[in-house]
């Protein structure tokens, strides 16, 4: 096949951009819909506290464990087909938990939906590397901003829409399958091979010399690279902070004297501030001569917001929420670093999987332990001091992550030293 024939048959890259962004819009919707409908779901299904706790703890553990299937599946069927499969399975899971009766099916459908999201999570950085090699920062910014925006949108509108139709939690869960079904459509061309015409390391073109195939990097190899662990801890720490903020901020503010409605609104303020910060953080990392400035600013914002909650939670609550939202721009930075710290599609895919699997399991375990220790106490000082400590860990890992190095070079150095 010639280069010219590939270009004739390839679909425009704007379709690839639409496909990536619509899929990104689905990456937290299925999670936030549960948070919005959980009180009614518990009442309707007679769900115990343990079952409700399991349902809310599923996301980080599913993302961490089930994301392990991403690299092998992507190598077998391709990145684009993996994205298509994730959108299809996500639709099935969301419909299943809404239509089939009983809490067992809610848990089962949620697990299926979260498994689909886990696949999309790990292949997204590699897809961006493959399809948009010259626009990685812009596309990382765009997809993380869309993901954050739709997460906030889901929290805001699920219950109002459900109430407007006089429906129960099943509509609140099931209606978001429409969005995941929309994500299926632009990926349908992935049924054929290499639909967007991006260069593939495993598909040489007759007119040019094929590049050597990228070295497959096993997760066990990454486990022997300390810097890979620091990136995983960075990713896990920012995930843990996000779960703490979105899961507990409303309760914390309500316990300190705000009304339930005012406390809930602050989660929306955090989400909006995070969306705005996400638009700038990855690009600044790529453009500044001293990218550490960005991570120091984000860490200072996080710490300032937390200290405000500790010292005067009800006096300038909107300001504290904005600062915490700015700090959450660590998420797109973490995803961008996956592409910066790997030179090949294989490297990006393996590093993304390693970071997310280790990071999400760490976040889920820490979140469960913190929730158990905190219990039903209304004193949140210990939790706030804990997250201030997380800021230190996060910044230390970020300072290593933004240095100029690659996972391929680290592995090559280890190979030379072992000879």
As for how many domains the chain has, the answer is 2
Asked if 275 and 324 sit in the same domain, the reply is: yes
Same domain, 188 and 224: no
Residue 16 has pLDDT above 60, yes or no: yes
Structure tokens at 137: 């920062």
Same domain for 397 and 288: yes
Q: What is the CATH number of the domain that holds 137?
A: 1.20.1250.20
| Tokens describing residue 141 | 């910014």
Q: Residue written as tokens 């805001």?
A: 156
* Same-domain status, 335 and 187: no
Residue 160 has pLDDT above 90, yes or no: no
Would you say residue 145 has pLDDT above 80? yes
H-helix segments, 256-344: 260-278, 281-287, 292-311, 317-327, 330-340
- Which of 7-16, 244-253, 355-364, 383-392 is least confident? 7-16
pLDDT of residue 196: 59
Contact 278, 148 (CB under 8 A): yes
Is the domain of 232 the same as that of 180? no
Which of the pair, 191 or 350, is modelled with greater confidence? 350
Mean local confidence (pLDDT), 297-321: 94
25-29, 208-212, 252-256: which is most confident: 25-29
What integer pLDDT is reported at residue 200 of this predicted model?
45
For the CA atoms of 292, 300, 247, 143, what is the dihedral angle to 10 degrees? -40
**Pair 221, 362 in one domain:** yes
91-111 mean pLDDT: 94
Structure tokens at 257: 């004297």
- For residue 296, the model assigns a pLDDT of 97
Residues 347, 227 share a domain: yes
Residue-wise pLDDT for 227-239, tens only, equals 999 999 999 999 9
List the single range of 124-138, 189-203, 349-363 with lowest mean pLDDT: 189-203
Summarised one tens digit per residue, pLDDT across range 72-83 is 899 899 899 999
What is the average pLDDT value for the chain, to the nearest integer? Answer: 85
Same domain, 235 and 281: yes
Domain final position from 192, 224, 239: 192
Domain with 187 in it:
11-192
Q: Is 76 exposed, middle or buried (0-12, 13-18, 19+ CB in 10 A)?
A: exposed
Looking at residue 339, what is its pLDDT?
Answer: 86
3-state secondary structure of 106: helix
**CA gap 98, 169 in Å, rounded:** 8
pLDDT at 4: 42
CB count within 10 Å of CB 257 equals 11
Is residue 164, in this structure, part of any structural domain at all?
Answer: yes
106, 185: one domain: yes
CA distance 81 to 67: 16
Measured N-to-C along each axis, helices 13-25 and 177-187 cross at an angle, to the nearest 10 degrees, of: 160
Q: How much is the average pLDDT of 392-400?
A: 96
**What is the pLDDT, as a whole number, of residue 2?**
43
């Amino acid at each position: 096949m010639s280069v010219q024939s590939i270009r004739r048959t390839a679909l425009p890259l704007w379709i690839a951009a639409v496909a990536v962004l619509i899929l990104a819009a689905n990456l937290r919707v299925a999670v936030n819909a549960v948070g919005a409908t959980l009180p009614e779901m518990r009442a309707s299904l007679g769900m115990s506290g343990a079952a409700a706790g399991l349902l809310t703890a599923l996301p980080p553990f599913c993302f961490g464990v089930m994301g392990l299937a991403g690299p092998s599946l992507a190598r077998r069927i391709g990145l684009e087909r993996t994205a298509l499969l994730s959108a299809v399975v996500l639709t099935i899971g969301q419909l299943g938990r809404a239509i089939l009766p009983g809490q067992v099916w809610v848990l089962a459908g949620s697990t299926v939906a979260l498994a689909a999201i886990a696949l999309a999570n790990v292949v997204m950085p590699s897809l961006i590397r493959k399809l948009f090699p010259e626009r990685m920062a812009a596309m990382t910014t765009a997809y993380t901003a869309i993901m954050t925006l739709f997460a906030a949108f889901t929290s805001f509108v699920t219950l109002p829409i459900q109430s407007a139709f006089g429906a129960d939690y099943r509509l609140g869960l099931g209606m978001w399958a429409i969005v995941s079904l929309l994500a299926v459509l632009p990926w349908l061309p992935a049924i054929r091979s290499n639909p967007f015409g991006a260069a593939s390391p495993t598909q040489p073109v007759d007119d040019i010399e094929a590049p050597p195939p990228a070295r497959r990097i096993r997760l066990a190899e990454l486990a022997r690279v300390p810097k890979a662990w620091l990136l995983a801890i960075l990713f896990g720490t920012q995930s843990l902070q996000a779960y703490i903020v979105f899961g507990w901020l409303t309760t914390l503010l309500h316990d300190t004297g705000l009304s339930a409605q005012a406390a809930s609104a602050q989660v929306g303020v955090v989400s909006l501030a995070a969306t705005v910060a996400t638009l700038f953080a990855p690009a600044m990392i790529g453009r500044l001569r001293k990218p550490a400035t960005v991570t120091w600013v984000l860490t200072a914002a996080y710490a300032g917001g937390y200290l405000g909650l500790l010292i005067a939670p009800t006096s300038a609550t909107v300001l504290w929420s904005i600062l915490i939202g700015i700090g959450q721009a660590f998420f797109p930075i973490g995803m961008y670093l996956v592409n910066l710290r790997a030179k090949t599609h294989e490297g990006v895919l393996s590093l993304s999987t390693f970071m997310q699997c280790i990071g999400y399991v760490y976040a889920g375990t820490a979140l469960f332990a913190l929730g158990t220790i905190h219990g039903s106490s209304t004193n949140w000082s210990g939790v706030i001091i804990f997250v201030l400590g997380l800021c230190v860990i996060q910044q230390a890992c970020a300072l290593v992550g933004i240095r100029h190095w690659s996972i391929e070079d680290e592995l090559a150095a280890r190979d030379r030293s072992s000879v």
